[in-house]
Structure 1
Amino acid sequence: MIFHPRIVKRIKRQIQAYEMHYQHDSSILGKVGLWIWLSFCLFFLQPKVAGVASWRLLLHYYPNINFCSPNVLDLLRFIIQSFWLMIVKQDWQEGKIFNWKTWLKALATIFHLPLYFVRHRIDMLFQKKTFFERKVSQLTLKWEHHNQFVQYAHSIIVYAGIVLSVLLIFVCIMVPLNLVAQSLFLLILWALAMGVRRIPGRFPSLFLIALSILASTRYIWWRCTSTLNWDDPIGLMLGVTLLTAELYAWLILLLGYFQNIWPLNRRPEPLPDDPQEWPSIDIMIPTLNEERHVIKTTIYALLGIDWPKSKLNIYILDDGNREDIQQFANEIGVHYLARPTHEGAKAGNINYALERSFSDFVAIFDCDHIPTRAFFQLTMGMFLQDPKLALLQTPHHFFSPDPFERNLAHFRHVPNESSLFYGLTQDGNDLWNSTFFCGSCAVLRRKPLEEIGGVAVETVTEDAHTSLRMHRLGYRSSYLKQPISAGLATETLSEHVAQRVRWARGMAQILRIENPLFAKGLKWQQRLCYLNAMLHFLSGIPRIVFLVAPLFFLLFHVYVIYAPALAIILYVLPHMLHASVTNSRMQGEYRYTFWGEIYETVIAWYIARPTTMALFSPNKGFFNVTSKGGLVLKSYYDWTIASPYLVLVAFNIAGVLYGVYRLFWGPSGEIGSVFVNLLWTFYNLFILGGAVAVAEEAKQVRKNPRVDVDIPVVIRFYSGHLVNASMKNFSLGGLSLITPQALPIETGQKIEVILTRSSREFIFPFRIVYRQNKLLGLALETLSTQQCIDYVQCTFARADTWVQWQRSYRLDKPLTSMQQVLEIGVKGYQRLWRHSPRSIYYSVYYALKLFAIIGSLKPVSVPPISRRKPSAAVLRQEKVMRYEN
């Protein structure tokens, strides 16, 4: 009966439908299996599943098997899935009674209702005064006008309120609470923070700072008074070490709040209408061994800057004594200075030029920093308004990705590592007259610079040391946050780390040689700002302590924090959460939450030793020049720079493995402590994974980095035809255009592109090197010197380009940032595995394959069979197959 032609035809049609569904022809083994299954369905299951094609039953009940091309394990999968369907009850309910996502949303809504009410009421209080407040204000003004006694009473009330507030803060910090009361305290602080977090304005930020200081200081007080194990000498020593690192982090947190509490956001001051009243400026470009094309771009930008040419003197300060640089300076008409000796590095190079120049103001640019045309028009007005102003610093903006941005592939998606300093910290310093000189993109008044003996040469961070000495003489500084210059970032992680090591060593040298806490002439606000900058670079040892602290408990059973696990959670959570929320509000435009952990972990190991040595021997160390404009011809893994991270990863993995063993087979009374330390170790592993990920150097074969823009241009063909287009990116070697429609042009054809600058038009010759639909890639032809100047002015010297870059970053979302950091941590271990020795690579590879195979045998729950009418597409498909058969 089974070989009846009608039945055979029907089974063949079912097999063809199954193959069409997978778009794949069945193998011989697959056809045999399908034939057996369809025959079984035809004779035994057809009455129960009327209207359902037999091959759809196969897809439905065995979704984990492809019968078109079965393998050896599919037989085992078939047996396991069959037993699963027969023995285990399937979840065929239309809707689950408990849906955890729905419950979480409901709880979140219930929790946010009172917060929304509080936030709304606070917002209303800020917008308008209540009737009672207006009456009190009117009566107070009336009484103060007629009775001086009321003024004294008012002052007494204010001071009494301050004293009571301080006492209340001390009570909140120092009074011990049981775990229930501490939980309630945590919830109250968190509700207050969530109530004001989204309210715009300065006061909510100050309120969040106050809550964060309260929570963090209470945690530190608890750590100092209740968590040291005085009965165990080793535990006491390690506990004091961790507590010292936490005290350091707490101090940096407080100083950071003070430093950034009120960014000044200074605006440019106008210049006199008559350009003859504008001052003369000596522009100095220190250089040592940088490539010529890097120096040329900066010089071309300076030659076209908007300032009277008779009042500009451009100096190339060449400590490399190179003939080609001297020839270039002579060709374009700028001064060239080369020292016979090279003591003092960059600072000595600038001091040598100061003795041979004469202008009242000195502008200093690194040779890779390209100023915009309006640089001096935006900066010099402040000097004319304030005779005591000695320094004006502008941001260091980078148009090429640094190693973090390139190796982690988040260029222009996550703020640069230096964005926090140049976007917020320097602006906060400006409020306290504590802006630091950063070595480039700055203007200094010659008189105070000569009063302190020129640029400081005693330390390797000559810039910050110089500004400290000018501040000690009572001179003022300013910071203009607008990005009006742009430069190249470091190419490789090793160069980046070397640069940070120099900064760290120099700051430690200043702290040792000219400690701002005791230096005469500084105000107390300036002392704190300089102290924070110097202490920040001492973070190497505390960061390493945080990375290894939980291992002492997991591996050696030493209680570094001698307290119950629940108490640790209830005290540390407010400290961490409030610090994260507050910093996210203050720094959200310039640094995302958790990203700073990766930045600091990468350099922690390398700055620990030089900063410690500098505190004891401040005269040791040398100035290393950061190379720019290099290439990375092929991707590779920098095992040398990553070796400290790998050691820390190995120890943390060992801690996790032994911690998991103790969690299941250790004493039951330690489960909470083991769990808390495991969480800490997992977090450290993710952060170390990010450091491991950065060590894989991505390939960079472009000599000239591209800058993304959106600028209208005009294409002019040699036939005279004009076509409007949009410039999408540019570099020193060419640019890319998007045309409204595909043009009938060929690769290699020469065209001209018209760029505009201040209503003037400039024509540049290009050659088409790439064409795809509407996209054109153009390479610059040979340009004259004046054309080079004009091209740089029309591209790199456009100030609006860098302003748009700054505005393109979204605000920080802490949970999103945490997810990104965790993904980078996982990516780091994937990269480490990919670059590991072949034996390790294949061992892990086959182990993962084995786990994947074992996981693929897992049975799959299936829903009930849908008896709805098949879709029109399925019906048409079956109709075609019936017609063909």
Structure 2
Amino acid sequence: MWALLNIPQNWPMHLKIAAILVQPKYIRLYKFRVKRLFEEYRVTRLSALILPIFFYFISCFIKFRAVKKSTAKRRFYQLYPQLKPNQLSFFDPLRFIIQSLYLLLSKPNSESDFWHKLSYFLRKAWVKIRLFDRFIIQKSTKIWPVNSNPHNHTLINSIWRFHSFRWLTYLLISVVLFVFISVPFTISAQAAFMGLILLVAYPMRKVPGQLATIIMITLSLISSSRYLWWRFNETLGWQDWQSTLLGTGLIIAESYAWLVLLLGYFQTINPLKRAPVALPDNPDLWPSVDVYIPTYNEPLSVVKPTTLAALSLDWPQDKLNVYILDDGCRESFKEFADSVGAGYIIRDQHIHAKAGNMNHAMQHTKGEYIAIFDCDHIPARSFLQLTMGQFLKDKKVCLVQTPHHFFSADPFEKNLKNHTKVPNENMLFYGLIQDGNDMWNATFFCGSCAVLKREALESIGGFAFDTVTEDAHTALRMQRQGYKTTYINIPQAAGLATDSLSAHVGQRIRWARGMAQIFRIDNPLLGKGLQWRQRLCYLNAMLHFLSGIPRIIFLTAPLALIFFNAYIIHAEFLAIMLYVIPTLMQIKITNSRIQGKYRYSFWGEVYESVLAWYILKPTTVALFNPSKGKFNVTEKGGLNNNEFYDWNISTPSFVLFSINLVGFIIATFRLFFEDPQTIGVLLISMAWTAYNLVILGAAIAVAAEAKQIRASHRVQANIKGNIRLKNGHTLQCTVTDYSDKSVGLEVVDLIDHTVKPTDEIDLLLMAGKKQAVFTTKVVNRRDNQLGLLLTDMPVERQKEFVLATFARADAWIGWQKQFQHDRPSFSFKQIRHASWRGVNNMLFHAPVIAKPFVNLLIMGGEFIYSLLPKQPKQEPKNEYF
């Protein structure tokens, strides 16, 4: 070849290549290649100049003519999916090198059956684990039957009554636990110990009964306490001031999380699940009840259904009085109250917000008991029937609280489109925690859907107004006086959730500020009147609203190593893995068992991440100055005609997300230059950062406000009824959904009848014990389904419709049964999808001023992703069926 080109054979290779390149035909070919790369493949000028020289150099060693170009090209791009034939760039050689190293190091031999053997081994191991699960379940059920009543074990109970035996047992358990927690282990011993705990706990999660829950809680406390002991005794050897400062913040946040975990287990270890108490057969023995409906700036359309439902409560009418407490002093409300027979109370001085409004009403009413409903909470007609028996059974009961149920989607459900698919934020508290509080006589008053004893309220001077959470503070004061509070976990009212994320955050800010104020001015840990169990329940509630700083620390802690090279956990890579990963797994599976249908795994961290920044300031200020802050009314019933992204409320999450993303990108580059001895710790920080990005991405997704164009929220239902057509035929139907203005039906045999839009038909439903007839107009029809609009609705007819729909005794009974038990892996998949949607929404709705920065982040992310090695594409197989 060299002789044909008139190039001496003994020249060095670089001179030979230079001699080739300077020949006219090769210069013309080079110009053609550069022009084609620049114009057709749209590469940069620098890449267009360098890439032809690179390929010329390769051609000196590889005979391309001996290879079929189409086959080689196809195979090349299968092995190197990062490289695009029509999108060449300057960094393609780097991508080529990285992918080549990946293929050399990790590509399995196609002729080997290693991967088939590994897959078979994993499947076989999984089958053995499942068989072990079943064995544990069968044996534990025999040892401790699920339906057995501990009170029937008379011998155990008689021995347990001896205080000395009880305290000796407590002491022995404490000593054993302390040994397990504090004894130092080698790395191998720690691995064996945590492996044993997980081996016992993992199958135990499916064992029914209370004993299995206690075992899992015990194992979780051992592993988490052992981790914290290890952190304090072996990982605080910080070398510089940055590591000391940042590491101290992390260890304090971990201690806070451990304390909250411990109190949470105590609070929910044995939910009471109190049943209603039957009332006397003689209604003359039933007490008188005043129903308060406080309102300030809510529209009459929100207050009206609540008032009509309250007037329809199953209670002797001479012992039931309903009052609208209008702090807005609106004439239209007074006219409505007069028209339906409800009381109407206003006041001259609007002080102390909701608590002052109700205290003023107590001066003008005389009922023995006071039922309270927020103006958007529509009570079921059976509300008093299910709650009042507790007062007649025990004269020391001062409060009966029922759940707050919402028939509209809250911002998390609405914006993430998971309404009725994922338990909402309130469900853990009202489904589990309040039942746990009830076990320890520490039920909180929640401001609505509750009945209180007037005598108990008067003994403490009325509703507490020293804090912005008058409800919890009122219950605390009554409990200090020796009264009992109870909880019935049967929803007997339903209302509107907050309409927007900003309103939701504002509501939580008020709760956080109020609990911090209580902690300062009436600390449940101090003072007389409370049992230690009640104090711990209140302490956990208050610590929950102090989670702002710890949550922000957890969201930024891994960046200490990435940005500042600060080793906040002074331990080797393997020790961190063996202490952290098994402990987190044990906590997750234990909480998944306890919280099951009330809070799915990982969603609590999303809720806390959204609120962390906003509750940080008010709680901190309230701890130092408890008198600062005012009561804010949560807006309900709002509309949103357009989708938009709430940048104001999502700014903290966006900033944290951006910082973590930059940190992850920097850490990716550091992998190529890091000391091999420290690369393991860097990988841990990267994994932690990636997890934070997923959580923050989901938090960002909540700020994309969805449309809310319906003035009336629709409620899913299954109510049997009938319709009467214009021709006189009566057909059976099922109400599938309803609002206060419309109804959706599924009609039997509708296909045989002619029904078209604008036709008027009568809807027949049971309203209490009688049948009511509602005049409706057809607005749409699809096969056997009808959409009806209610017409001719005077007040009496509206009352009957509320009684037939919102106020039915069984209207909200199935609120907890629609959710499957938590599966952590599936829950994390939901979080991941929500996170991806959140990032897309954020980028799509980015403001103009942030577009350059957002575009830079996108380009950086795409660039990093393009450099990562990828699995080669497989050859398509010909399959015959």
Pair in the same fold by TM > 0.5: yes
- Superposed, 1:372-771 pairs within 5 Å as 372-740=380-748, 741-742=750-751, 743-758=753-768, 760-771=770-781
3-state DSSP of counterpart to 1:570:
helix
Shift of 1:112: 4.2
Shift of 1:722: 0.8
Shift of 1:171: 1.0
1:215 maps to what in 2? 223
1:796 aligns with 2:806: yes
The one-letter amino acid paired with 1:861 is: Q
User: Is the alpha carbon distance of 1:586 and 1:128 closer, same or farther for their aligned partners in structure 2, counting shifts above 3 Å?
Assistant: closer
Measure, in 2, the Cα distance between the counterparts of 1:192 and 1:257.
19
1:875 maps to what in 2? none
3-state DSSP of counterpart to 1:598:
helix
1:824 maps to what in 2? 834
5+ residue gaps, structure 2, are 1-69, 79-83, 90-95, 148-152
Measure, in 2, the Cα distance between the counterparts of 1:858 and 1:590.
40
1:109 aligns with 2:117: no
- Partner residue of 1:167 out of 166, 175, 185: 175
Measure, in 1, the Cα distance between the counterparts of 2:342 and 2:614.
40
Shift of 1:843: 7.2
5+ residue gaps, structure 1, are 1-56, 66-70, 130-136, 146-150, 872-885
The one-letter amino acid paired with 2:325 is: L
TM-score where L is the length of structure 2: 0.84
3-state DSSP of counterpart to 1:735:
strand
Measure, in 2, the Cα distance between the counterparts of 1:737 and 1:121.
50
2:206 maps to what in 1? 198
- Partner residue of 2:306 out of 268, 274, 298: 298
Measure, in 2, the Cα distance between the counterparts of 1:91 and 1:672.
28
Shift of 1:497: 0.1
Shift of 1:458: 0.5
1:126 aligns with 2:144: yes
2:46 maps to what in 1? none
Between 1:387-396 and 1:95-104, the stretch displaced more is 95-104
3-state DSSP of counterpart to 2:757:
coil
Measure, in 2, the Cα distance between the counterparts of 1:210 and 1:577.
14
Shift of 1:91: 9.5
User: Is the alpha carbon distance of 1:813 and 1:266 closer, same or farther for their aligned partners in structure 2, counting shifts above 3 Å?
Assistant: same
- Partner residue of 1:310 out of 304, 307, 318: 318
- Partner residue of 2:283 out of 257, 267, 275: 275
The one-letter amino acid paired with 2:332 is: D
3-state DSSP of counterpart to 1:468:
helix
2:53 maps to what in 1? none
3-state DSSP of counterpart to 2:390:
helix
* Preserved contact between residue 631 and residue 702 of structure 1 (Cα < 8 Å): yes
Shift of 1:666: 1.4
3-state DSSP of counterpart to 1:313:
strand
Shift of 1:757: 3.7
Measure, in 2, the Cα distance between the counterparts of 1:845 and 1:530.
46
- Superposed, 1:256-275 pairs within 5 Å as 256-275=264-283
* Preserved contact between residue 701 and residue 835 of structure 2 (Cα < 8 Å): yes
Q: For residues 714-769 of structure 1, what are the alpha-carbon distances to aligned partners after superposition, in whole Å with 9 as ceiling and x for unaligned?
A: 11013211111221100011111112343421111111111124552111011111
Measure, in 2, the Cα distance between the counterparts of 1:461 and 1:454.
14
Measure, in 2, the Cα distance between the counterparts of 1:123 and 1:735.
48
Shift of 1:103: 3.5
Measure, in 2, the Cα distance between the counterparts of 1:851 and 1:598.
26
Equivalenced residue count is 782
* Preserved contact between residue 512 and residue 545 of structure 2 (Cα < 8 Å): yes
3-state DSSP of counterpart to 1:665:
coil
Shift of 1:800: 1.8
The one-letter amino acid paired with 2:818 is: S
2:373 maps to what in 1? 365
- Partner residue of 2:263 out of 248, 255, 259: 255
Q: For residues 197-236 of structure 1, what are the alpha-carbon distances to aligned partners after superposition, in whole Å with 9 as ceiling and x for unaligned?
A: 2111111111111111111111111111111134423312
Q: For residues 266-310 of structure 1, what are the alpha-carbon distances to aligned partners after superposition, in whole Å with 9 as ceiling and x for unaligned?
A: 111111111122111111111000011000010111121111111
Shift of 1:504: 0.1
Shift of 1:378: 0.6
Shift of 1:688: 0.4
Measure, in 2, the Cα distance between the counterparts of 1:666 and 1:847.
21
Measure, in 2, the Cα distance between the counterparts of 1:778 and 1:225.
69
3-state DSSP of counterpart to 1:708:
strand
User: Is the alpha carbon distance of 1:116 and 1:853 closer, same or farther for their aligned partners in structure 2, counting shifts above 3 Å?
Assistant: closer
1:814 aligns with 2:824: yes
Measure, in 2, the Cα distance between the counterparts of 1:229 and 1:96.
44
Q: For residues 112-136 of structure 1, what are the alpha-carbon distances to aligned partners after superposition, in whole Å with 9 as ceiling and x for unaligned?
A: 444543443333322499xxxxxxx
1:339 aligns with 2:347: yes
TM-score where L is the length of structure 1: 0.83
Measure, in 2, the Cα distance between the counterparts of 1:307 and 1:329.
19
3-state DSSP of counterpart to 1:217:
helix
Q: Tell me how large the CA RMSD over aligned residues is.
A: 3.3
Q: For residues 380-438 of structure 1, what are the alpha-carbon distances to aligned partners after superposition, in whole Å with 9 as ceiling and x for unaligned?
A: 11111111111111100000000000000000111110000001111111111111110
Shift of 1:154: 10
Between 1:396-405 and 1:120-129, the stretch displaced more is 120-129
* Preserved contact between residue 736 and residue 778 of structure 1 (Cα < 8 Å): yes
* Preserved contact between residue 229 and residue 559 of structure 1 (Cα < 8 Å): no
User: Is the alpha carbon distance of 1:647 and 1:848 closer, same or farther for their aligned partners in structure 2, counting shifts above 3 Å?
Assistant: closer
Measure, in 1, the Cα distance between the counterparts of 2:596 and 2:275.
22
User: Is the alpha carbon distance of 1:152 and 1:72 closer, same or farther for their aligned partners in structure 2, counting shifts above 3 Å?
Assistant: closer
1:861 aligns with 2:874: yes
3-state DSSP of counterpart to 2:671:
helix
User: Is the alpha carbon distance of 1:72 and 1:772 closer, same or farther for their aligned partners in structure 2, counting shifts above 3 Å?
Assistant: farther
User: Is the alpha carbon distance of 1:799 and 1:700 closer, same or farther for their aligned partners in structure 2, counting shifts above 3 Å?
Assistant: same
Between 1:498-507 and 1:162-171, the stretch displaced more is 162-171
